Chains A and B, each alone.
Chain A
Amino acid sequence: MLIQLRETGETPLPHEGDKRLAVGIDLGTTNSAVAISTGNKPEVIRDAHGRALVPSVVAYAPDGAVMVGEEARRELLENPGWVVSSIKRLMGRGVEDIKKLAGALPFEVAEPATGESAMVRLKISGRRLTPVEISAEILKALKHQAEEALGHEIARAVITVPAYFDDAARVATKDAGRLAGLEVLRLVNEPTAAALAYGLDKDAEGLYVVYDLGGGTFDVSLLRLEKGVFQVLATGGDSALGGDDFDHAVAEQFLRERAEKHGAHALSPAEVAQTLATARLVKECLSQHSKGEWVLDAGDKSSRHTLTRPELEKLIAPYIDRTIGICRGVLEDAKLSASEVKGVVLVGGSTRIPYVRKRVGEFFGKKPLADINPDEVVALGAALQAEALTAGSDTLLLDVIPLSLGIETMGGIVEKIIPRNTPIPVAQAQEFTTYQDGQTAMMIHVVQGERELADQNRSLARFELHGIPPMTAGAARIRVTFAIDADGLLTVSAQEQTTGVSQRVEVKPSYGLGEDDMARMLRESLDHAKDDMVKRLLVEARVEARRAVNAVTSALAVDGDLLDNTECAAIERALQRVESALRGEDREVLNAAVEALDASTLGFAERRMDRGIRKALAGKTVTELEDSSATGS
């Protein structure tokens, strides 16, 4: 009998060859990047031209062609109507959110059809597209770039999200990954990923702040670093604040100057896009130079504009003030002061602006760290986490929920269920009762945010509990459990306590896609969607089969003496059938072999439990029992 003996808790990870390697993806507002890590050495994956950053820009030509990155950005000049940029700002957003940004975003928004969720849909080149589909195009391009560079298929990824992303935006990001043909192993918060990239480099210990100002989002996280543990203590931010706002401020300034000269006139979406592109150049230029002059062409008139660095600083100061205020709030949440912070890490392209560095440095009283390229650091951290999840790691990320989770009660008041900055995963239960005799259903509205009134917070989902046993009002006790997993995603389950009638509800956010939508998009988007699904199921079945084989071989090693030769041979045969099915490609055969293995060990399991009980009654623990049998064999 050939049995492999393994240390407790050290069953080997399944190996599926290189294609089981996972990449780390920073899906940014302005730029995205993909990286891979082997042996704790993360590297950004470049394209054929040596470029690491892929502009988060997608262009849809009327003939159906889709372009991503530089190629799409070039269309901005010729065919601005085909082009979508900064789509991240719309992830998990609804139509009414977009109206608030109206004018700021050069998109044409389609009204939702009846029965559709409130998720925003854009009209581009005659197509109706959700932010999930548009983001999926960026992810597909990154996946392709990685596959070209590495020479093999990439099917799994860690994708980063702003720490301050709410549940709807997180779900949208995960859905985009699925649509791009990627299994999303984990959503990691961007500041946490950046800390991971820095921490491993520097072996840092103590309190660190990550100040992450990107194109469209601002995040700040306070972390405690200690012997490979990255513990997020508090996080804050604004999911609609970033470099894009600076561009808008500059563009508005120029348009005001223009209106004084030529009189006000409405700009076409294309002209808005061009003005914003110019404004971005202005901002970038003034990080290097103290002054510059630019020309705006719109309609048949052109205008000249000058801007100095101090003038730019004045334009963006209100936004920087907001970020500093958020930093102060995060320190307060953690009951810490700025002087206790050991280091400040800068992340995101907008932290290249000298004024941002100056203000952050002043607030924390120390020169911020920016040794790692702020555009690449998040992808590098994501790659490290991807390696940790697939190959194992000594580091540990402990993150928190960024926004409080609550439910709407009578009068629209929010009752907090899980306060912000609670470590995840987390679960909390709340008991509800019925208010009418015979009531069998109940609606629960889940919101996320810090405000007192439900409608001032973000609506995540309304879900209905059905099948409450009819009782007099107030007699039913329905325990609803709100659980947040390690991705920061919410699941709600409910159970009536007196009868035990339970119901599990997967929350589909108010701004999410239904399973039907998702299935249709997968069909339309991926020619190989079905193949991918079959492959994934086979991989899962193999992981499960290896677990079963390990369980039985371990049990035989310890308690094999409980079996006679015939019984032992029967189990051995069942094991061999699983082993041979594992070498094949047929999932059905594999699953059947595992079931047969389970069945062949039923009697064995009973005898093992009997032995365990006898030992336990004799006052021995199983661990002692194992120790004695190990020395005996």
Chain B
Amino acid sequence: MIESANAVPRGTVLAADVCVVGAGAAGIPLALSLSGRGLSVLLLEAGERTRDGKAQAHYEGEVADERLHSPLHRYRLRGLGGSTSLWGGRCMPFDPIDFEARPWVPDSGWPISYEGLLPYYARANTWAEAGRFAYDARTALPGVPPLFAEFDSDIVRTEGLERFSCPTDFGVRYRKRLEVAPDVRVLAGAHCTAIRLEPDGDSVRALDVATLAGNRFQVAARAVVLATGGLETARLLLHSDDVSPRGVGNAHDVVGRYYQCHIAGNVGTLTVFGTTANVRHGYEMAADGVYCRRRITIAAEQQRRHGLLNAVARLHFPKITDPAHRSGVLSGLLLAKGLISYEYGKRLRDTRPLTAQEWLRHVLNVVRDPGDTAAFLAHWLRHRTLAQRKFPSVILRNRSNRFSLEVQGEQQPMAGSRVQLTPSVDALGMRRLRVDWRYGRGDIESIARTLDLVAAELARTGVGRFEYDPATLEQDLMRYGAYGGHHIGTARMGTDPRTSVVDADCKLHGVDNLYVAGSAVFPTSSQANPTLTIVALSLRLADRLARRLQPRRAAAEEVFA
């Protein structure tokens, strides 16, 4: 059932077996997976509705360098569904190598394995409406030609896929399930403002909850799960400092540190030899109706051999702000960037405004190319605007066999990249966040070596030529700062409390009944977008919680998940 937090009697203490804070990509699958297992679940959501402007204002904070990181109220949303009301839908699992402790990546290694997470990944795919758990083009797209014709390399792999969710807004898609579940109670408009520990600090006594209308109450639960995203989880832990002066779970000053996003940008020029039929640069539709796209990756053993961070590259159109591409569609997009939301328009904005001459050249591109622009708009209208399963992004007709590479890379976890509290508070008295995201030279160098391997293999096989300017690589990758919306590592998982916040069960070291769901627990960032792994870890956590809190209950009695 879904209720308003304002209807809870003021000053009461609500009891539940499990209290989940945050109803987004982590909280909704977690709460629903706990349903039907003999547990009472309370799900707190700060937003009263999707795009709740007043609740959203509580996300605002400071950024150390605005060129490097987006403002904190961007790329995340309050309201049922959380940031899934905004996401792009890209799904892919982390790779087995991401879970390994890699000697060449300090502070790498997960306390859990890829194989252990695999069953949950398969279920996560269903939750995200991303079709079958099939991420290899050879099995998922039988009979479809490869990314590059005649390309055969053990070093550079091109059969890996990413799949696309609708993109599914979990709040819309699973609202009815939350309404129907008799053992899940959702409170909308409930801001968790503090975690109250027992005096000995070993367990959570209660959560303080406030509404913007001024209601106050508490929640006492056998287990508490923070599912508030990579930034808000750190904020809540650090802000709750009455019993543990450095914040909950922060005895070793790890909470908020090791903050990671992804290194991303469009780089270089790729020329594929031969006819345009030699390249499949766009989306394919798998038999299950899901859009899929191939990605260029470096084989795991080569990552080991060359000491690389994980990374992926996709074929992309040329630099959009330079009118030399002569594409009416691209110029049209650039000119219409004011109509595109901040989160998706960001990469259309150059660091400097267009000159009058450039602007004119873009207009000319549109005027010269009316057929292509019209065809693009018609396709976009039919397959994106009006479609339930949306065409994931702009794909241009390949006329020249020239592309850039869209790179997305892992970054080395660094203790100095961190989020902290500031003295200033929001309307509910919670201290605001300050983000100081950093990256290292090694992150850029790893991408350079990755691109060199790609270039060498394309040349060796005679498939094409890839050129980029190493001198401007860092600038290309940092033009728009950290990739938006991927907030990773602020309550990382590990076995050693001196370098991690939660254990392999996602439970805080030293706090008996406090758990974290979401990307905050990722020790490393992989090449992959985080959502699918967030959902998979949440489903895994649901199983662990059910086993711990209701061990007598048979699994066969699950009826709602």
Q: Do A and B bind each other?
A: no
Write the residues of chain B forming the contact surface with A, with a CB cutoff of 8 angstroms: none
Write the residues of chain A forming the contact surface with B, with a CB cutoff of 8 angstroms: none
